[in-house]
A = this chain, B = another copy of it.
Amino acid sequence: MVTAFAPGSIGNVCVGFDMLGLALAGVGDRVTAKRTGTAGISIAEVRGLDGEVHPSLSTEPDQNTASIAARALWQAHGDSTGIELLLRKGVPLQSGMGGSAASAVAAVVAVNALLPESLPHEQLLPFALEGEKYASGGLHADNVAPSLMGGLVLCPAVLLPRMMQIKTPTGVSSVLLHPEMQLDTAKARRSLAKGYTLEQWLSQQAYLAGFITGCAADDHALIRQSFHDVIIEPQRSAAVACFDAVKEAAMKADALGASLSGSGPSIFALCMDSNAPHVASAMEQACRSSGIECQSWVSPMTAPGAHVEDSQ
């Protein structure tokens, strides 16, 4: 019996739509996997953090990213016995915090420990992606990759299965604010514009390249100058009523930048470690002033990836 933890994550990270992700600390999903005599993958139960049976998630193995990912791995490398999963959701549903990816990653990390021959950690990516594909309808690794590997990860579709750990700047944290509302990621994706100008593309590409270069060089001014999403954020932010107020509050509190986490509704900021409590409280206050209850998490940009917590 093995229990694995996989963190939630910030998809896109403002500058890298579909290809950049950042792991969170202290919020994630747990999967316990144990062998059964019956072949195949089953889900024994799905519970929330409070220990109660989860009100909305199904235990149907075809409808859960954890079991879909676990099955892909077990079919490729398992044996003739079966696996039963117990899923404990720590990431709020449809929060834009990479919850479906965290479930898939926790499941493959737990099941990997039960394989006749375990795979190297980074080789679990394609199996976890099978689960994510079910959830988002496409091949986007920007939540799965940071949840698996930790830290800041570049993982564009055209370079998969490669993923590149990006050096994070010293002394920078993320602040993630989750407003208590839900958004449908797949729907958010379908509503994106189809066509873009050369100028839009060049600006956004420049910001991604500037951000990566700024991170590697510990150049906070360059990170700040590059932290803009001129393409996706303007299309999505209107769906999150408190977005403008929360972003403005973060910037006024001297954050390096702020944007939507994934397709929202969560909003995140990057800021110096020492300033994180101040930024978090400014963002929370702005959100509540918009009439929306919220919760926030502070994570170092070096937050660790998924790992086995308990094995017996």
Interchain CA distance A174-B51 in the complex, whole Å? 60
Tell me, rounded to whole Å, the shortest Cβ–Cβ distance linking A196 to chain B: 5
Is A18 interfacial (CB-CB < 8 Å)? yes
- CB contact between A195 and one of B156, B195, B204, B231 (< 8 Å): that residue: B195
Most buried by B among A162, A202, A204, A208: A202
Near B by CB (< 8 A), chain A positions 132-161 give 154, 156-159
Interchain CA distance A40-B78 in the complex, whole Å? 80
Is A213 interfacial (CB-CB < 8 Å)? yes
Q: State whether A162 touches B225 (Cβ < 8 A).
A: yes
Q: State whether B154 touches A18 (Cβ < 8 A).
A: no
Q: Across the interface, which residues of B come within 8 angstroms of A200, CB to CB?
A: 201
Q: Across the interface, which residues of B come within 8 angstroms of A208, CB to CB?
A: 205, 208-209
Interchain CA distance A224-B139 in the complex, whole Å? 22
Closest to A164 in B: B213
Is A5 interfacial (CB-CB < 8 Å)? no
Given A162-B225, A195-B195, A196-B195, CB of A156 within 8 Å of CB of B201 = no
Is A166 interfacial (CB-CB < 8 Å)? yes
Q: State whether B196 touches A19 (Cβ < 8 A).
A: no
Is A187 interfacial (CB-CB < 8 Å)? no
Is A103 interfacial (CB-CB < 8 Å)? no
Given A159-B206, A209-B209, CB of A195 within 8 Å of CB of B197 = yes
Is A296 interfacial (CB-CB < 8 Å)? no
Is A17 interfacial (CB-CB < 8 Å)? yes
Is A192 interfacial (CB-CB < 8 Å)? yes
Q: State whether A202 touches B162 (Cβ < 8 A).
A: no
Is A305 interfacial (CB-CB < 8 Å)? no
Q: Across the interface, which residues of B come within 8 angstroms of A192, CB to CB?
A: 198
Q: State whether B19 touches A206 (Cβ < 8 A).
A: yes
Is A203 interfacial (CB-CB < 8 Å)? yes
Given A156-B202, A195-B195, A202-B18, CB of A162 within 8 Å of CB of B209 = no
Tell me, rounded to whole Å, the shortest Cβ–Cβ distance linking A77 to chain B: 25
Interchain CA distance A205-B195 in the complex, whole Å? 16
Binding site for B on A (CB under 8 A): 16-19, 154, 156-159, 162, 164, 166, 192-198, 200-210, 212-213, 216-217, 222, 225-226, 231
3 nearest CB pairs, A to B? A156-B206, A201-B201, A205-B205
